[in-house]
């Protein structure tokens, strides 16, 4: 018997085509207005995170994001969303309106950076991003994105190539190229 079996109303166990395919399926099944993805090992930073985020008016936002706790330290997210060569926040620290995720699903060909691509696409479509000044999640650094760092960086390069116009595209790819090569040299 599972610890949360009394509160889980729907349970599906079936093959998928990766993390983001499973996340798209979750969005399709969700019935609420907001969605957040917490991966295995990730937890909310405090018991009152949901109350603190949703006690404020959010009618002017499509994406609400905050800070992350990583290795015991709070890593601040920028107060305004902007295009960058990598994710500027962890998806575990982001509440996104379900209808935004339905209109811009995760591109499952990007096995490690589909969230990065989706947030760029939402931004370019005019989605309204709102920062909340509080830690949302404690990030488990043992996950797939950290254990396959060079693959993730290579996937980020692909996302930048597909979504960012020139000349910013070249600048971002150059910023990703050096860390990618360093990770490859170190076997990460």
pLDDT digits (tens, 9 = 90+) for 8-60: 778 788 888 999 999 999 999 999 999 999 988 899 999 999 999 999 889 99
pLDDT, residue 59, reads: 92
pLDDT, residue 143, reads: 62
Beta bridge partners of 131: 65
Residue 142: which pLDDT band, with cuts at 50, 70 and 90? Answer: low
Average pLDDT over residues 165-183: 91
Could you report the per-residue pLDDT of 85-141, keeping only the tens digit for each? 888 999 999 999 999 999 999 999 999 999 999 999 999 999 999 999 999 999 876
Residue 65: which pLDDT band, with cuts at 50, 70 and 90? Answer: very high
pLDDT, residue 102, reads: 97
Looking at CATH, the fold of the domain delimited by 19-140 is given as Spore Coat Polysaccharide Biosynthesis Protein SpsA; Chain A (3.90.550)
Q: What is the pTM of this model?
A: 0.89
- pLDDT of residue 1 exceeding 60, the answer is no
DSSP per-residue codes, the chain: --TTTTT---------SSHHHHHHHHHHH--SSEE----TT-EESSTTHHHHHHTS--TT-SEEEEEEEETTEEEPPPSS----SS-SS-GGGEEEEHHHHHHS---TT-TTTHHHHHHHHHHHTTPPEEEEEEEEEEE-TTSHHHHTHHHHHHHHHHHHHHHSPTTHHHHHHHHHHHHHHHHHHTT-
Average pLDDT over residues 137-154: 78
For the chain, domain boundaries = 19-140
Beta bridge partners of 73: 70
Ramachandran class of 67: left when φ > 0, alpha when ψ lies in -120 to 50, beta otherwise? beta
- pLDDT of residue 4 exceeding 70, the answer is no
Question: Over the Cα atoms of the chain, what is R_g?
Answer: 17
Backbone angles phi, psi at 31, to 5 degrees: -120, -10
């Amino acid at each position: 018997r599972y610890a949360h079996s009394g509160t889980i109303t729907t349970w599906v166990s079936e093959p998928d085509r990766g993390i983001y395919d499973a996340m798209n399926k979750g969005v399709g099944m969700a019935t609420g207005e907001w969605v957040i993805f917490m991966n295995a090992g990730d937890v909310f930073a405090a018991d009152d995170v949901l109350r603190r985020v949703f006690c404020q008016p959010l009618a002017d936002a499509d994406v609400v994001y905050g800070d992350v706790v990583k290795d015991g330290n709070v890593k601040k997210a920028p107060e305004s969303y902007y295009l960058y060569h990598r994710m500027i926040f962890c998806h575990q620290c982001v509440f996104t309106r379900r209808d935004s995720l339905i209109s811009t699903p995760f591109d499952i060909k990007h096995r490690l950076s589909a969230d990065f691509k989706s947030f760029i696409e939402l931004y370019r479509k005019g989605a309204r991003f709102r920062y909340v000044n509080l830690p949302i999640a404690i990030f488990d650094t043992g996950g797939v994105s950290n254990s396959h760092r060079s693959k993730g960086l290579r996937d980020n390069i692909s996302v930048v190539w597909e979504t960012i116009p020139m000349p910013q595209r070249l600048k971002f790819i150059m910023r990703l190229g050096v860390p990618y090569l360093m990770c490859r040299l170190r076997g990460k």
